[in-house]
A and B are shown apart, each in its own frame.
Chain A
Amino acid sequence: MEYLLHILIIILINIILTVSFNILLGYTGIFALCHAGFYGIGAYAATLLMKNFGLEFLPALVCAMGITMLCSLIVAIPGLRIHWDYMVIFAFSFQMIVYHVMINWMELTRGPQGIAGIPVATIFGFQFDSKTSFLLLCLVITSAVVYFVKRIESSSFGLALKGIKDDEMAVKSVGKNVTTYKIIAFVMAAGLAAVAGALISVYISYIGPGYFDLHTSIFILICLIFGGMGSIRGAILGTAVLTALPELLRFIPNLPSTILGGTRDLIYATILTFFMLYRPQGIVGKTKQ
């Protein structure tokens, strides 16, 4: 039962990541493989604020979001002005820079050892120390994030984003400032990724650079492609299936960790290979007319 709750919590946290990444790739068409970087910045910011400054969970979460959004501007402002294929590598290099800072800045992040002993989430004095209560907290926060993204989708802002993906020139021609729209979408997605970061840090009470490397960014991407780009239902479904599926491998006895990791990657790669060729719109995505 505990194990099931654990998987549910991880799925909920991953859903925040995929749904926020959907704003970038699904709606706006910005291909930025640095989402795990923002996830990590959020996690480290929240952790350091809680451990070193004794903040409670909610204020730490809000501050972590702010810090992550500021950091995302470093990528967004120069990156979104240039052509998209430079943006791909730009985001890529940002992801690597964040990862290397996490590994090498010993004084702040304690390097590869990571930070352990993160206090449990406390909101107005109530401690979310059991798995059930934390699941409820995750459920509330994830629902709020999904609702927020849903509202964006149907707003005029969301429509403008979708317009940018389909035909950037057309959106420009009706007088919209495309770059500003892109930057806002980017910063928003980064802020939401920070929420997931804060949640994961208080949940496992330990964070290390390994959680926030390029593989995590690719995992988020594969979840979104599997479910369907541009669809919230798809993002949720894709994340749930792809988070739970590799867990089945754990039931095979005596499986060495390299084979476990390799098989998981192979499953992801196979899914991505077939979906890109035969169903690029994902499971629930619509075919482009």
Chain B
Amino acid sequence: MDLLWPLIVDGVCTGARYAILGMGFALIFNTQRMFDISFGGIYTWCGFALWILVRHAGMGMTSAGVMVLGLAFCLSYSIQKIYMSRMRNRSDSAVSILLGSMAVLIGMEAIVTIFWGGEIRAARVGDAEVFKWGSIQISDIKLYTLLFALSIFLLFRYLFMRMPLGLNARAIATNPLLSKIVGLETEKIITLTTCFGCMIIGVDAVLVCADTGVYPAIGFQSVLIAFMAVILGGIGSFAGAAIGGLTIGFVRTVAVLQFPTLWQEMILFVILFLIIAFRPIGIFGIKDWKSEV
């Protein structure tokens, strides 16, 4: 029982991390309705950028974090403008978009591997500050993760989605053709929304780099987790993605009680496998959206 409470707290924190990823991807995917996974590359680059800014340029964690978020926005904007937008114009096939963005992801990870190798890089110097309540301990980064997850959820769910950009994005998600007909600049709105999605992903990269550290292949890992969160929560639902991410992180951590740690990762994929096999629309999924051919 001594283990239970710390494990639950840990589970919620990991869940919050995954929820951030899920919300970022949900924003991208719900608007585009395409598997644009280039955000994985941005994740890796953001993580490494924070490491370089803090450890090599000697910047403070907060200012470096803000800069990295700016970088995430710019990187995402360039990728969308230079490549993904052309891909979307040329082909409406979702497989092409997936493959194209996967190429961007592999390329970005490869560049990081060439320059900095495959080791884990963490930005933190020294020990973490730990807060205690009775038997529960929580490190500062984990507390920030919880706070960021909650604020991103509230900010995007209740503010962004009601602002002009968010409303337009929702219109495109519901009916892309009609949105074009009524004169919405769909490409511009998709690009901007994707950039905001990538910024949310960047927040997660910053938190992970500050805590446990990043490595080149973490981008692909983040894509998998984001996929899972969105599928579990249900395609088309922003809140669903957050709850999906939270559930996955929680289950993954608490599963240690029953299964050996080696199998932790595998449990995630088994959950994903079972969800798609038995309930492909997820927990909060929109029923009429392509769950059948």
Residue numbers of A with Cβ under 8 A of B are 29, 31, 78-79, 82-86, 88-90, 92-94, 96-97, 100-101, 103-104, 168, 214, 218, 221, 225, 256, 258-259, 261-266, 268-270, 272-273, 276-277, 280
Contacts and interface: CB of A to CB of B under 8 A. Distances in A.
Interface stretch (B51-59, B107-115, B157-165): B107-115
Given A82-B280, A265-B109, A272 B269 contact: no
Contacts of B272: 89, 93
B270 interface: yes
**Residue of A93, A94, A259, A272 with most partner-chain B CB within 10 A:** A93
A83 B277 contact: no
B146 to A, nearest CB: 28
27 contacts: A29-B95, A79-B277, A82-B280, A82-B293, A85-B35, A85-B94, A85-B290, A97-B273, A101-B266, A103-B262, A218-B106, A221-B99, A258-B114, A262-B114, A262-B216, A263-B114, A265-B107, A266-B107, A266-B110, A266-B111, A269-B104, A272-B100, A272-B103, A273-B103, A273-B107, A277-B83, A280-B96
B288 to A, nearest CB: 12
A262 B113 contact: yes
Contacts of B224: 92, 96
A93 B269 contact: yes
A272 B106 contact: yes
A24 to B, nearest CB: 12
A88 B35 contact: yes
Given A263-B110, A265-B110, A272-B102, A82 B291 contact: yes
B118 interface: yes
A53 B271 CA distance: 34
The majority secondary structure among interface residues of chain A is: helix
A124 B139 CA distance: 65
A264 B109 CA distance: 12
A88 B98 contact: yes
B265 interface: yes
Contact of B293 (A83, A88, A96): A83
B118 A276 contact: no
B106 A268 contact: yes
B86 interface: yes
Given A83-B280, A96-B224, A262 B110 contact: yes
Interface footprint category on B: 35 or more
A93 B83 contact: no
Contacts of A93: 269-270, 272-273, 276
Interface of B: 35, 83, 86-87, 90-91, 94-96, 98-100, 102-107, 109-114, 117-118, 216, 220, 224, 227, 231, 262-263, 265-266, 269-270, 272-273, 276-278, 280, 290-293
A262 B111 CA distance: 7
A82 B35 CA distance: 17
A118 B220 CA distance: 33
Nearest to B87: A277
A28 to B, nearest CB: 12
Contacts of B113: 258-259, 261-262, 265
A227 to B, nearest CB: 14
Nearest to B98: A88
**Residue of B86, B95, B105 with most partner-chain A CB within 10 A:** B95
A17 B68 CA distance: 41
**Residue of B35, B216, B280, B291 with most partner-chain A CB within 10 A:** B280
**Residue of B220, B227, B276 with most partner-chain A CB within 10 A:** B276
Contact of A100 (B100, B102, B112, B266): B266
A195 B50 CA distance: 46
A276 B117 contact: no
B114 A269 contact: no
Contacts of B277: 78-79, 90
Given A82-B291, A218-B102, A261-B118, 6 more contacts: A82-B280, A100-B265, A100-B266, A214-B220, A262-B114, A269-B110
Nearest to B109: A265
A272 B98 contact: no
**Residue of B98, B112, B227, B277 with most partner-chain A CB within 10 A:** B277
B292 A82 contact: yes
A179 B262 CA distance: 36
A103 to B, nearest CB: 8
